[in-house]
Amino acid sequence: MKVDNEKLIELISEKQIKNKVEEIAASISKIYDGEAPILIGILNGSFIFCADLVRALDIDCEIDFIKVTSYKGTQSKGTVRLRKDISAIITDRHVIIVEDIIDSGLTIKFIRDRMHEAGPKSVAIVTLLLKPDIAKLDFDIDWVGFEIPPEFVVGYGLDYDQKLRNLRGVYRLEGIESE
């Protein structure tokens, strides 16, 4: 898919993201000082956010990844499928789930519940983006980078059919409707 630049409307700049990542990393570093939490990045979308976050931390940490699917194009399929599980043992560990975006909350709930089953010391969640108007959550998100309207967005790891992840900011894709 080729997207014309005029169809991309910047919502969050590269500089805003960088500043927010540093702010979140400082908070995480303070809370987990003396600990070595394990960050669980949700593939594929969170890999850029997760990498930047880990590099900004001032504490020891480990990293692992989990991959689930619930989207095709811009539409949530309503079910979550596990594609790749974590390989680390998280029992009695501090776990921080790293998500790129929380839309309905279905994916993050699935992963949070899965992590709790393994008996960690704690489970915290950090997301770059949250759509509060459509997220149906019965738990808090520990760190939210930016709250955005219920629009379909791309860039900084977020994709449209696996494209546009490489954009340095977050953009609304003009003419694309989000569910």
Residues designated catalytic: 103
Alpha-carbon distance of 96 to 123, in angstroms, equals 6
| Residue 28 neighbours by CB under 8 Å, 6+ apart | 37, 53, 57, 59, 96, 126, 143
Determine the 3-state secondary structure of 47 from DSSP: helix
Alpha-carbon distance of 113 to 98, in angstroms, equals 14
